[in-house]
Amino acid sequence: MLPLLETWVYMWIGESSQSMVRIIFPFFYLAALLLLYSGTVQVSGKRWVGLLTAFLLFFIPFSTAGQSNAFAGYADFPIAVLFLAAVVSFIQYTRDPIDSRLLLFAVYAGALPWMKREGSLLWLCLIFVAGAGLVRQHKLRFALFATLPGLVVIVAWKIAMLSVKAIPTHDFLPATMENLMKNAPRFGTILRLLLRELFSITDWNILWIVFPVALLLLAASGKRLLSLHLGALVFIPLLLYAGIYILSSWNPYQTHIDCSLPRLISQLSLVALLTFGIAFALPDHKPPALASGET
């Protein structure tokens, strides 16, 4: 609940101070470490692998020194932590379907749209992946329950903005067929800049190089469904984030990409790191074949 926490700090010290409000953000970093540890241990059953995964966060340069790092006061790292919490809760639920874990997933996912505008897209991806699994298991009521908190936040926020006649931002053009066709030649440049950022050692070390390898290792070790879920929860928002620049109103639009794409990628980086940690804990022996429902 970053907006409310920042307001509380401002009221506590009696003024709006962007330097003082940064005292909040080390707690998000601590939360990320604990989630990486617990999420990895839940799947691997190995504490040392959980400790190693949490330790590797120190070696992601963007998280500690990037433009929207964990301590800079921007909302991108907190939203990454919230997204990670929702993913960990979802993994726990798929492994042991206890109602309280689904409740946690619904709360964490539902808070994403409140944290930041991009949170609505992350929420949609979570609901798509989780909802598909729940519907496949004939748990329609549970799927609707998981959707409700985020839907209430999004609708309530839209109503609030309309009631105060908030002026919308103009960073993007309307999503019309004319604008899409006109800006279609941007696709090549957007893809090039996306790949350049993902392979940037100074920002991400080798995180985005090993992430696809981690997915393949998970699938090969018998965790095909988990690999599919984690891959979808990273690649779908990543492609949507990159694709939105087709409607950028900036001139040149490449400047828009350079300014915002790294921080958007940072929102997905913790789940990518979790994936690597889980895949690193390969079983000591070949797992038995599962007929259905493997996670």
Q: For 35-64, how does the pLDDT look when each residue is reduced to its tens digit (9 = 90+)?
A: 999 999 988 888 999 999 999 999 999 998
The total number of residues shown for the chain amounts to 295
DSSP state of 137: T
In this prediction, residue 115 carries a pLDDT of 87
Percent of the chain with pLDDT over 70: 95
Q: How distant, in Å, are the alpha carbons of 51, 52, 162, 185, 218 from that of 281? A: 12, 10, 49, 43, 9
Q: For 231-284, how does the pLDDT look when each residue is reduced to its tens digit (9 = 90+)?
A: 999 999 999 999 999 999 999 999 999 999 999 999 999 999 999 999 987 654
Percent of the chain with pLDDT over 90: 68
Q: Is the pLDDT of residue 290 over 60?
A: no
Q: For 67-106, how does the pLDDT look when each residue is reduced to its tens digit (9 = 90+)?
A: 778 888 788 999 999 999 999 999 999 988 888 899 999 9
Q: For 2-48, how does the pLDDT look when each residue is reduced to its tens digit (9 = 90+)?
A: 778 888 889 989 988 888 888 888 999 999 999 999 999 988 888 99
What is the value of pTM for the model shown?
0.90
Q: How distant, in Å, are the alpha carbons of 121, 171, 203, 248, 253 from that of 179? A: 21, 14, 32, 10, 14
In this prediction, residue 212 carries a pLDDT of 96
Euclidean distance between CA atoms 161 and 1, whole angstroms: 19
